[in-house]
Structure 1
Amino acid sequence: MIRRRILPAAGFAALLVGVSACGGSAGSGDTTARKSDFCKPLTKTEKVSFGSSPSLALATSAQAEGGGYYKNEKLDVKASTFATGQDVIALVGRGQLDAAMVGYPANIFSAVDRGVDVRIVSSAGQNSADNPSSAVYVRSDLMKNGAVSGISDLKGKRIGIAGAPGSGSYYLIGRVLQKGGLKLADVKHVSLSTADMNTAFETKSIDAALVITPFNAAIDNSGVAEVLSSQGALTRAQATGMIMGPNLLKKRPQVACALLRANINTVNKELAPGYSKRPEVVQRFTDLAKFPKDLVESTPESIYDPTLAVDKKQLEQMQLMFIEQGSLDLKAPLPYAEVVDIELREQVVKSLGQAPQ
């Protein structure tokens, strides 16, 4: 059973107070250390509190519930929606939430570095090459007069980005800029909501922006901005996924396995290519995740790794970008094994009979 409510955003700094007391590596240094068979099926129903940002690529929980995958794993999931992933990290680290599906913000790496028991355990939906759900738009007048014809021409331009510095959106625009030989420091950042980008283009308060579906529709209709080739920078970009905290990783690893296993089964059986044309999938997104039906049917489909694997190279590149930008106070990227709960992933994938990635 899944029960959904909307929670207000909360500042990371305020919530982080006292979190470090939970320090230590996931699955160690606790009275309930993991056993060799910690991924065996549950024998009784367990309650799980779960948070997510309002994005179709992060809404696998609705499909896991509607398709019966949580029930099959004996999970009773209480879901909450948050404005941004940056608001959720401390809640998971403090045990106020068991897990969340969010964008990977800089503060998750800061939290791990400070000893907070929060880890990444999976990836989420990603852009396909032929029909991406995110694109960089540039004002039409700049495209027509030749001021901007390629990524390198964005140097010095005002770029609209949803979220604060250190958000997943910053990583995505950073990947695009790299294709043109630029860095985040080479452009002027304008933080604003995606819904306000069309107006910002009309008033010429921004020159370009990273726009996600469905907000691109208004821009396309107005003709105020045009898509700039990102040279494949957004294809398969991993900036989102599932995180878990001490409630599951240390105290209830068997439940952690069940939750991750349910989501992996969901993306393979319910969110395979063509899912937006399946009435039952659309209905779950509409009824359980509260997305408008026409939005679900018109949004380009996300693609999913079969085991929701977390790309090691991209995780390092993300940290390097945040460090260079100044939103992550580290001298070097944290090792993959400190950020991702590898043992949990390996046990879950093994329990599903798939090859670890």
Structure 2
Amino acid sequence: MRIHTTVRTTALPLLLAGTLLAAGCTKEDDAAPPAPDKPRTVTSVSGCAKGSWTDPADLAPDRAPARCAPRTPAPRPLSKERSLTIATGTLSAEYVAPLQMALEKGEFKKEGLNVDLKVLPTPDALPLLAKGDIDAQWAAPEAAVMNGITSGFDIKWTAGNFSPGPHSKSGLWVRLKKDETAAHVPMAGRTLGTMIGKGSVIAYPMNRALKKHGGGLDEIKFQQLGSADVLTALQNGGTDAAWLLDPVWRKVDGDKKYAFLGGQPRGEPLGGLLFGPNLLKKDPDAGVALLRAYIRTVNTYFAADYKADKAFARELAELLKTDEDVLLSTPSLRMDWEIRAGTTDRLQDAYRAAGVSEGVRVPESKAVDRALYEEAVGHK
């Protein structure tokens, strides 16, 4: 069953404070010492041998994402059915397709999981995840997430989602001035229109693209715009540059008045599944089962250029409730469950440059847990 929920967004600092206050009601003297984590047994998985794991330090843009054989890793049903809730900001975006397809094809059910997808904005879902009111979040380690971890939230990034295909131009576009070329566009002092705030993971590739052209997040002026206004503002001169998502960038691609300056790094997912205490500590078996179903869905339906299969593309468009021609107008995403080394460090550097994060970096060991997806594919 899928749950579509619309809620009022609450200020994150207030939610963080309330959650931490509730957590602090137990007297320190009365609290039992935490039990040591039991070592988990990892065994080899049929169909997930060579190619099912890549070195996290490999940041090559043409790196082949990890893959198992189709329909693997095979289901290993839990002894007792679990009901899990996964929060997601949307059910219609293409990057949510593996979760939607896993529901549609019964992949979660095969693991003994009854999964609900609940639409919640990140600021609302984050405290619920930390408290155990929801089990996982399909989101990204945004500034709010990292700040929450600093504040004591037991949340970790446990699986990646995607990186752009080699022909994607989703990202930073600029309207060229007279005599400017795409090779070098002085960006310092210009305005940038975006529907995505400075605390989003997009701050990292945005900052990287700006620095290549003499700018940076601290040297441009942000204009927060609605999704329907970003392209219009770029075209009518209301903003100098804009971060254009799929499939909006198609509207300016090929027009010599505009230049594409860069997008999300290829081969480096910037989001995916976040787990809270329920799946990290209380029931990691269910966490591995969830990841196994997700990984199996990627291997079976999204292993390569999934839009080349027109019948599948039609099915996917219906599932996402989007127009098939719109879906086919952009390249397939490179679905990727792995997390690259150092991504959370690079994200935090960008948040600091944007002025939405201060203090010491959250170390990767506190923000990322690769052990559960490694167990799901049998990597020791």
Q: Same fold (TM over 0.5)?
A: yes
1:212-231 alignment, distance < 5 Å? 212-219=245-252, 226-230=258-262
1:112/1:118 contact within 8 Å kept? yes
Q: CA deviation at 1:348?
A: 2.5
Q: Taking structure 1 as reference, are residues 260 and 22 closer, same or farther at Cα in structure 2, changes over 3 Å only?
A: farther
Q: Tell me which protein shows more helix as a share of its residues.
A: 1
Q: CA deviation at 1:330?
A: 2.2
Which whole-Å CA distance do the structure 1 matches of 2:169 and 2:8 have between them? 25
1:61 to 78, 89, 99: 99
2:163/2:333 contact within 8 Å kept? yes
Q: CA deviation at 1:207?
A: 0.4
1:13 maps to 13
Letter in 2 for 1:78: D
Q: Deviations over 1:114-168 (max 9, x none)?
A: 1101110011111122x115132222xx34x124644551111111122222112
1:328 to 341, 349, 357: 357
Which whole-Å CA distance do the structure 2 matches of 1:293 and 1:6 have between them? 25
Letter in 2 for 1:184: L
1:242 maps to 273
How many percent of aligned residue pairs carry the same amino acid?
Answer: 25
Cα RMSD (Å): 2.9
Which whole-Å CA distance do the structure 2 matches of 1:19 and 1:225 have between them? 49
Aligned residues: 337
**3-state DSSP of counterpart to 2:229:** helix
1:150/1:228 contact within 8 Å kept? no
Q: CA deviation at 1:197?
A: 1.1
Which whole-Å CA distance do the structure 2 matches of 1:64 and 1:133 have between them? 28
2:162/2:268 contact within 8 Å kept? no
2:85 to 38, 43, 49: 49
Instruction: Return the index of the structure with the highest Cα Rg.
Output: 2
1:27-46 alignment, distance < 5 Å? 34=38, 36-37=40-41, 41-46=77-82
1:312 to 341, 366, 376: 341
Q: CA deviation at 1:22?
A: 5.3
Letter in 1 for 2:108: Y
Q: CA deviation at 1:279?
A: 4.8
**3-state DSSP of counterpart to 1:176:** helix
Q: CA deviation at 1:38?
A: 9.4
- In structure 1, runs of 5+ residues without a counterpart are none
Q: CA deviation at 1:349?
A: 3.1
Which whole-Å CA distance do the structure 2 matches of 1:295 and 1:104 have between them? 28
- In structure 2, runs of 5+ residues without a counterpart are 25-31, 44-75
1:297 to 304, 310, 328: 328
1:157/1:188 contact within 8 Å kept? yes
Letter in 2 for 1:195: A
Q: Give the TM-score normalised by structure 1.
A: 0.83
1:105 to 134, 142, 149: 142
Q: Taking structure 1 as reference, are residues 343 and 202 closer, same or farther at Cα in structure 2, changes over 3 Å only?
A: closer
Q: Taking structure 1 as reference, are residues 228 and 29 closer, same or farther at Cα in structure 2, changes over 3 Å only?
A: farther
Letter in 2 for 1:51: A
Q: CA deviation at 1:103?
A: 3.0
Q: CA deviation at 1:340?
A: 0.8
Structure with higher RCO (Cα < 8 A, 6+ apart): 2
